[in-house]
Structure 1
Amino acid sequence: MPALLADIERLVTCESPSSDLAAVARSAEVVAAVGADRLGAAPERIVLDGRTHLRWRLGSGPRRVLLLGHHDTVWPQGTLERLPFGIRDGVLRGPGCFDMKAGLAMAFHVLAALGAPDGVTLLVTGDEELGSPSSRELIESEAAGCAAALVLEASADGGALKTERKGVSRYEVLVRGRAAHAGLEPERGVNAAVESAHQILAVAALGDPATGTTVTPTLLSAGTSTNTVAAQGQFAVDVRVRDAAEQTRVDLALKALVPRIAGAEVEVTGGPNRPPLAAAASAALYGRAVELARRLGIAVPGSAAVGGASDGNFTAGIGIPTLDGLGAVGGGAHADDEHVIVGELPTRTALLASLVDDLLTSAGPPAPEATATGPAVPDPTPHHRQPTEFGGSTR
């Protein structure tokens, strides 16, 4: 535990806002150093569009398991002065600790304890909080052919694993009108602000609570001065969907928007950013995690469907079984109260270790435990890799 906490501190105290290329590069060096200390090997540094991603390919055999995380955060440079790293009353705090630097440290300790197992790839990207514009193809290529992708994002409430994530689409709606003096001759103008209002109402109406689809106009601007008919307006749209059919429906509807005011023009850019992570993509892996938790004698994690997306959406989108939320237990992602529950780290790390090991050594899901009336079955956890070193118990 002291070594794990020390590694988390090293990662958290190197700030890494996604928008700051120099900060992301510095963070990548710290992540690389921590990983090299634990795994005895330096990662490959992959720089795409100026952003540094790190890849450890362990062993020389076929790729079986992908561990996936990111080291960039939403916090601007200097946040540590206001929200310093610290541990008090069993709670660890600091910008990015929960989302998701504790998960990275856990991955390093798990792979070290398992002897840097052959067939595992650990990929740590540097642009996830931006929607992974440079790393998406890298993620998908590393996941291709793997038996499973395990995502080290933080848990859902109460330590639940994330078994379903909504797909995300992002759009910009640009409205063009014609300027005119608002007092002398407003009738000669074409008001882009009013046209924007019509379009916002049309866009918001595309949401469907019955299917869980949300279509939310967000950032908005129009006009240049208070006494001029607005010649231009624009607004952003955030779309979240549970299935690909809904993502397609909303995409077609947004790209079919037409002006409501004569003389106005409407242009829509953007589209789907991440496909949905459907429950079917995680069902078998979640069942495996539940059975392994029972075998370890630790609390069985719940499951949760969440609106936020992750790089696990990409791996699920190309058909790779994916389980998300395997990182730290805590809360406050992207908020001032971001935190990790220290007491949950040992059992959480033990579960991750057992899941990786089981995927590498077992062709299928673990068999059910023996019951009072049924035959005994062998424990799939190899006895030379007892998870008790993380604080978990066996039974």
Structure 2
Amino acid sequence: MSTGPVEWAEAALPAMLDDIERLVRCESPSADLDAVARSAEVVALIGAKRLGTLPERVEVDGCTHLRWRLGSLDAGAPRVLVLAHHDTVWPVGSLATHPFSVQDGILRGPGCFDMLTGLVMAVHALSALGLRPDGQGSVTLLVTGDEEMGSPSSRLLIEEEARGCRAALVLEASGDGGALKVGRKGVSLYRVQIDGRAAHAGLEPEKGINATVELAHQVLAVAGLGDEAMRSTVTPTVASSGSTTNTVAAHAEFSVDARAFSLVEQERVDRAIRGLTSETGALITVHGGINRPPLDPSAAEPLLTRAQAIAARHGLPQPVGIVVGGASDGNFTAGMGVPTLDGLGAVGGGAHADHEHVIVGEIPPRTALLAELIRDLIAQERDAT
């Protein structure tokens, strides 16, 4: 008797928990390229065991990404892109204060929710599909190593792999209650550099141009650029200035995180930040710009409808769609016009926070839904050709 998707996913849960533990215990903060390389090695070994083949390692600017191309070797075969990342925001040593654990149905550990559990789910879902070179469709699993930094080295890789795909499925963690993410804000990232002139703070401060004072003016100006009616936010974040306590600050800088639901709004904010003018005579230089375009719900809703139908067919929890302020690599694929469904990963909460956790009982049904969605997409495209 054949095994249904829920049954095989339940049977695979112990192996999935083992794989999640291995990844959580191999800490992988994005900015630590050696740690990311070590994590990539663990991901490669897990994937090789489950998928039967090693990935292609792609190193860009010292950051290690992994790519599996599975299924048909026919260049014209329908393709689905599955996106995941193995970097986290947690610094090496976080396991000492946030150890891996599974207790009372709750899994904890640095990066477990965002998004190591989703990565493991993707590997096991693809393993269950048993894609063959002589099959009718193909799937690329792309696992990047710098998503938490805005994907500076992997964006071109993602866009290259997405080109020509009929769907992109993103294994970021779910929204509250397991909701799938059908819309995301676009993200712009800036560093505002301020160059003044040093002088002795006690003897002749009037001969300086105080970069700290200029920073205060510019932080307030930038903080006022958001638009509540448009639900756009412009947030000054990290700031630094000065060199010694008795010197007029010659240099200062601060970072800005700007988010908007439309490209028009992103461009308005971009023009405003690039148009900042000095209040003290300091030189202002703006670095950065628009990082990710918005993920418009129109790119996701057909896939959400398909996922809901699959869930109903197999007795799985019925997913709903939500729009969120956070961004992901799905913004890139949606921006290319590729149908994109996000938030297919773990159910839990506390991304980037002390209470980060995953609900263990939700892992099997979510993995089953992912596998059946991929199967359905390939079958659809095969039938259409």
In structure 1, C-alpha distance between the alignment counterparts of 2:155 and 2:78, rounded to whole Å: 18
Normalising to structure 2: TM-score of the pair? 0.91
Who is 2:336 aligned against? Answer: 318
- Checking the alignment, whether the CA contact within 8 Å between 2:78 and 2:381 is kept in structure 1 is no
In structure 2, C-alpha distance between the alignment counterparts of 1:138 and 1:28, rounded to whole Å: 16
Give yes or no for the alignment of 1:72 onto 2:87.
yes
Secondary structure of 1:31's aligned partner: helix
In structure 2, C-alpha distance between the alignment counterparts of 1:182 and 1:12, rounded to whole Å: 49
5 Å-filtered alignment, 1:99-110, equals 99-110=114-125
Deviations 1:241-271 (A, max 9, x none): 111111111111111111122x322111111
- Checking the alignment, whether the CA contact within 8 Å between 2:83 and 2:171 is kept in structure 1 is yes
Greater shift, 226-235 or 286-295, is seen at 226-235
Normalising to structure 1: TM-score of the pair? 0.89
5 Å-filtered alignment, 1:193-232, equals 193-232=212-251
- Checking the alignment, whether the CA contact within 8 Å between 1:39 and 1:116 is kept in structure 2 is no
5 Å-filtered alignment, 1:158-169, equals 158-169=177-188
In structure 2, C-alpha distance between the alignment counterparts of 1:318 and 1:53, rounded to whole Å: 21
- Checking the alignment, whether the CA contact within 8 Å between 2:29 and 2:87 is kept in structure 1 is yes
In structure 1, C-alpha distance between the alignment counterparts of 2:44 and 2:203, rounded to whole Å: 64
Secondary structure of 1:237's aligned partner: strand
- Checking the alignment, whether the CA contact within 8 Å between 1:204 and 1:216 is kept in structure 2 is yes
Who is 1:308 aligned against? Answer: 326
- Checking the alignment, whether the CA contact within 8 Å between 2:78 and 2:382 is kept in structure 1 is no
- Checking the alignment, whether the CA contact within 8 Å between 2:184 and 2:327 is kept in structure 1 is yes
Who is 1:381 aligned against? Answer: none
Question: 1:24: how far off?
Answer: 1.2
In structure 2, C-alpha distance between the alignment counterparts of 1:227 and 1:13, rounded to whole Å: 46
Secondary structure of 2:194's aligned partner: strand
Secondary structure of 1:66's aligned partner: strand
Question: 1:25: how far off?
Answer: 1.3
Question: 1:302: how far off?
Answer: 2.0
Question: 1:227: how far off?
Answer: 3.0
Who is 1:33 aligned against? Answer: 45
Give yes or no for the alignment of 1:18 onto 2:36.
no
5 Å-filtered alignment, 1:85-96, equals 85-96=100-111
Question: 1:125: how far off?
Answer: 0.8
Who is 2:355 aligned against? Answer: 337
Question: 1:182: how far off?
Answer: 2.9
In structure 2, C-alpha distance between the alignment counterparts of 1:6 and 1:298, rounded to whole Å: 24
Secondary structure of 1:58's aligned partner: strand
Distance verdict in 2 for CA 1:17–1:63, change over 3 Å: farther
Amino acid at match of 2:163: A
CA RMSD in angstroms comes to 1.6
Question: 1:223: how far off?
Answer: 2.1
Give yes or no for the alignment of 1:58 onto 2:61.
no
Deviations 1:29-63 (A, max 9, x none): 11111111111111111111111111111121335
In structure 1, C-alpha distance between the alignment counterparts of 2:336 and 2:349, rounded to whole Å: 29
Give yes or no for the alignment of 1:358 onto 2:383.
no
Identity across aligned pairs (percent)? Answer: 65
- Checking the alignment, whether the CA contact within 8 Å between 1:13 and 1:80 is kept in structure 2 is yes
Gaps of 5+ in 1: 366-395
Who is 1:292 aligned against? Answer: 310
Give yes or no for the alignment of 1:192 onto 2:211.
yes
In structure 1, C-alpha distance between the alignment counterparts of 2:203 and 2:20, rounded to whole Å: 63
Deviations 1:291-314 (A, max 9, x none): 211222222122221111111111
Deviations 1:87-111 (A, max 9, x none): 1000111111111111111111111
In structure 2, C-alpha distance between the alignment counterparts of 1:190 and 1:79, rounded to whole Å: 41
Who is 1:233 aligned against? Answer: 252
Give yes or no for the alignment of 1:7 onto 2:22.
no
Question: 1:231: how far off?
Answer: 2.1
Amino acid at match of 2:328: S
- Checking the alignment, whether the CA contact within 8 Å between 1:170 and 1:271 is kept in structure 2 is yes
Higher relative contact order (CA 8 A, sep 6+): 2
- Checking the alignment, whether the CA contact within 8 Å between 1:63 and 1:121 is kept in structure 2 is no
Gaps of 5+ in 2: 1-12
In structure 2, C-alpha distance between the alignment counterparts of 1:190 and 1:81, rounded to whole Å: 45
In structure 2, C-alpha distance between the alignment counterparts of 1:22 and 1:223, rounded to whole Å: 32
In structure 1, C-alpha distance between the alignment counterparts of 2:250 and 2:85, rounded to whole Å: 41
